[in-house]
Chain A
């Protein structure tokens, strides 16, 4: 698919704005929507693995040892679902400054 941007004339846009490739959500950074930020307390974290499956934005990276790492703030919208699900209070929600 040819690159579409805000200079593309209407005749060259796909009907209905359909996107004929996969994985393109990566191109749209949603982190600036955030008003509260999750803070990862790595020392409290038991690596139980409950937080990353519930993240709607896939913003909790998991490394090859199946351990979670710090948040990817490019995509985290600050919804707080991860903090709610954490049994060990290892995620703290803080107002964005």
Chain B
């Protein structure tokens, strides 16, 4: 029997880490980090885990220590947020290019300036091309479940890539929700032990990690990473199937909510999907065929599958909780629309940048998006595809 609990998103992530009991956790313990390292250090102090906890002096060092630990042959985890991830940035690339399956719990918060600590996805979007697998979580339950699945995916021999589990800062990280936990022994069995084929502490096989990789080699090594990222898609589905056998909770590359017969749809990630489901239900009660596609796996990006799932939609809106400031549209918008284009599917599409710096996105905001979509279906006209949701502006004259 699973255990019913009530936990915040931070507690949920820390609890998953406790049950995984990794060899090393290296994390910066204060702001802009989350409560996750704080909770985890309590488990270390209480002897609940036998993890080596390294309280480093910066996030750059946190990721560096994780890289050293993984290369040595250990299982390493860390947690951070916002500018903490920015400070890791250099080492984020080293981790993925050295093919070290580190697992990071990322609480999505705005990358400052001007100073802000609240939810948006600008931290994650800054590392979207770094070769990390990125899973997004609508609820505390999903943040917990994704963390339990993380090592099986990252450490798979066809993958060997680091993985980050994302959840929304404050909205899920600090909100307490009901959650179903898996028993410790079942987690232990599910996650398994990590036995890398090559590692630095193997005295039978001395190896060199991260050597000079000039013009004749780096291209091929990047292509290897790209291949591993493509492989990850199937591995994620396989691991999710095993997870479903254990818990009954089903996960795919994305979730389709009342999408099958929908005419208008929203594509989004993390907690806003919860608000959107509420709005979809209300609209359905009014006879409006609204649907949602919630992305769980952002990297690898399931472009082909998404294009197929949205092919019957009459108009769609892609919601970005980070502005790419490129005068063209947000990152998710670009990924979704370019995937549709190359898969020869045309659906009228608009982009909304929303929720920046923790701005509340309410049911009425989401409803207004569906109303705009219905208008596009009716008029067959899109005057501006790159829009803002909930932005204060001078009244139009």
Residues of A bordering B, CB below 8 Å? 6, 8-10, 13, 15-22, 24, 28
Contact = CB atoms under 8 A, between A and B. Distances in A.
Interface in B204-231: 205-213, 216-217, 220-221, 223-224, 228
A24 B206 CA distance: 11
Contacts of B206: 21-22
A22 B100 CA distance: 20
Nearest to B97: A16
Contact of B207 (A6, A13, A20, A28): A20
B117 interface: no
Nearest to B209: A18
B160 interface: yes
A49 B216 CA distance: 40
Nearest to A10: B220
Interface of B: 97-100, 160, 198, 205-213, 216-217, 220-221, 223-224, 228
B385 to A, nearest CB: 38
A17 B223 CA distance: 12
A80 B100 CA distance: 36
Nearest to A19: B208
B224 A6 contact: no
Given A10-B223, A22-B206, A24-B208, A17 B216 contact: no
Contacts of A16: 97-100, 209-210, 221, 224
Contact of A17 (B100, B160, B205, B221): B221
Nearest to A28: B212
A17 B207 contact: no
A15 B224 contact: yes
Which secondary structure characterizes the binding site on chain B? Answer: loop
B160 A15 contact: yes
Nearest to A13: B220
A75 to B, nearest CB: 14
B250 to A, nearest CB: 32
Given A16-B221, A16-B224, A19-B207, 19 more contacts: A6-B217, A10-B221, A10-B223, A15-B160, A16-B97, A16-B99, A17-B211, A17-B213, A18-B98, A18-B198, A18-B207, A18-B210, A18-B211, A19-B208, A20-B198, A20-B205, A21-B206, A21-B207, A22-B207
A9, A13, A15: most-surrounded residue (chain B CB, <10 A): A15
B130 to A, nearest CB: 14
A16 B99 CA distance: 6
Contacts of A19: 207-208, 211
Contacts of B97: 16
B213 to A, nearest CB: 5
Contacts of A10: 220-221, 223-224
B224 A13 contact: yes
A29 to B, nearest CB: 12
A17 B210 CA distance: 7
A18 to B, nearest CB: 5
22 contacts: A8-B220, A10-B224, A13-B220, A15-B99, A15-B228, A16-B97, A16-B98, A16-B99, A16-B100, A16-B210, A16-B221, A16-B224, A17-B213, A18-B208, A18-B209, A18-B211, A19-B207, A20-B205, A20-B207, A21-B207, A22-B207, A22-B208
B73 to A, nearest CB: 13
Nearest 6 A/B pairs, CB to CB: A22-B206, A6-B216, A10-B220, A19-B208, A16-B99, A15-B99
B216 A13 contact: no
Given A18-B207, A19-B211, A28-B212, A13 B98 contact: no
Contacts of A18: 98, 198, 207-211
A61 B208 CA distance: 24
A25 B209 CA distance: 12
Contacts of A22: 206-208
